[in-house]
Structure 1
C-alpha cells in the first residue's frame, strides 16, 4: 500500500517513494490518495496537499505500478511454473502460480483444483 498526498508530503518525498518502488520492483501496488478522516491526528496536521497535486501524484504512481507489474509478470511468461488449476476451457487450463500471477497452459486434462508443474504463459499478457 502506498498513500500519496499525506499531509506534509513534499515533491522530493514523493519522488523518493517512486524510487523505492522502482528499486524494489513490486509486482503489485495498492495506491490511494490520502483523504481526511475526522478525529485523527492527520486531520490536525499542517501541510494538507491540494487535491490536484494528490491526483497528479496518484496518476504518476499508478503509471509506475503498471510498468512494474508488467515487468514482474513478464518474468514468469513461458517458464516452468507450479500452477493451481482453477479453470479449463477448450483445451486451456488456467490458474495461479506460487506468486499469485495468473497463468495458463494448453492441456486436454480437464481436472481442476490440482497443481501442475508445467511450462506456462502469463494469462492475458500483453
Structure 2
C-alpha cells in the first residue's frame, strides 16, 4: 500500500511543486543561512566562551546540530521534508528561552544575547521555510 501511495499522481505532482519551490534562490539562501545559524548555535559555547555552563553547552550543541540537519533536509529534499518544517521555528523559540529554563546558572548576559539573537534568526528563517511550504500547497 505504501508503494502505491508513493506512485499516486497527486503525490508525485505535489512533490514536484515543492522541489520547484526549493530551487528558488531566495529559498536556497534561507536554507543556507539556517544551516549557518544551526552550526553557529552548535559551536557557540566554544566561540562565545560559555563552555563552563555544561547544561546549556549540551543544549546548544544538540539543538544546533538538529537545525543544521533540518536545513540540509530542506535544501536537498524539500518535497519529502516539508511536513516537519514547523520544527525549525519551534527549535528557535526553545533556543530563545533555554537560558532561563535550563537547570543551573545558564542565564548570563553572554548566553542570553547569543541564544536570543540566534534563536530569533532561526525562528525567522524557519517561518520562511514554513511559509514557502504553505504557499506551494495552494
Both proteins in one fold, TM over 0.5: no
Q: Which structure has the larger Rg? A: 1
Give the number of the structure whose residues are more often helix, by fraction: 2
TM-score class normalised by the smaller sequence: 0.3 to 0.5
TM-score, length of structure 1 as denominator length: 0.40
Structure having greater relative contact order (Cα 8 Å, sep ≥ 6): 2
TM-score (norm 2): 0.37
